[in-house]
Amino acid sequence: MPSNYSSVDPRGFGVCKNSNRLENEMIMKRVAILLVALLVLSHQAFANLSRVRITPENQKEHEVNFTLTVKEQENDVYLVELHAPIEGKLKDLFGVGLFVGDNTTDTKGLILDVQLQQKSKWEKDDVCALLFRLNKAMLPKSILYLRCGNGSSEGRYEVALAKYLEPK
């Protein structure tokens, strides 16, 4: 056997050279470095999701312009009405959802998740309007969320509906 051959490949593919072993080790190190880099970058991409809890008191501070009314009707039902101009921080609004539960990261409480129609930049819809009824027992734990994003980051404005209840 020639001197530049050192051993039999443990996988049974024949004889391997010392130089091939070094090349394989270098390739494995590069793959490991690439995987670590991808892991770090993907974590940073998901870290761009921001959540902001909106109340009537801090709505102007966060510069989120919308009108939300929650009116009590008969038979233990509330009428919820949202008007959100597509401007400012809501210019990239792409989804609206309703969550009822204790923890907004738990999907068990998700009732409604509406993806808004994607429009070209030349189409100008100036308002998102939403009207629905809600059972009185659900109101204290109801969160309406507005999803905004431009592809590289996503923001979620969470609105506690009970805070917008109009007095009788």
Residue with tokens 């949202």: 82
Q: For position 105, what pLDDT does the model report?
A: 60
Q: What is the pLDDT of residue 29?
A: 84
Given this model, what pLDDT does residue 115 score? 67
pLDDT at residue 69, rounded to an integer: 92
At residue 71, the pLDDT reads: 92
Residue 149 confidence (pLDDT): 83
pLDDT at 11: 57
Query: By the 8 A CB rule, do 147 and 154 touch?
Result: yes
Structural domain boundaries of the chain? 5-46, 50-164
Q: According to the model, what pLDDT value does residue 118 have?
A: 54
pLDDT given for residue 42 in this prediction? 56
**Structure confidence at residue 70 (pLDDT):** 93
The confidence score (pLDDT) of residue 13 equals: 55
- pLDDT at residue number 24: 78
CA distance 140 to 53: 15
Q: What is the mean pLDDT of the chain?
A: 76
CA 13 to chain centre: 48
Strands 127-135 and 77-85: antiparallel
- Altogether, the residues listed in the chain come to a count of 168
Q: Residue 166 and residue 157: Cα distance in Å, rounded?
A: 21
Number of DSSP helices (H) and strands (E) in the chain, helices first: 1, 10
Residues of the chain with pLDDT under 50: 1-3, 44-47
CA dihedral 151, 152, 158, 159 (to 10 degrees): -60
Going by DSSP bridges, is the β-strand pair 154-160/49-54 parallel, antiparallel, or unpaired? Answer: parallel
Q: How many CB atoms lie within 10 A of CB 90?
A: 19
What is residue 68's predicted lDDT score, i.e. its pLDDT?
93
pLDDT digits (tens, 9 = 90+) for 110-158: 676 666 665 555 556 678 888 888 888 888 989 998 888 876 778 889 9
CB count, 10 Å around CB of 167? 4
Q: What span, in angstroms and rounded, lies between the C-alpha atoms of 118 and 103?
A: 29
Cα 127 to Cα 87: distance, rounded to the nearest angstrom: 8
50-164 fold: Immunoglobulin-like (2.60.40)
Whole-structure pTM value: 0.62
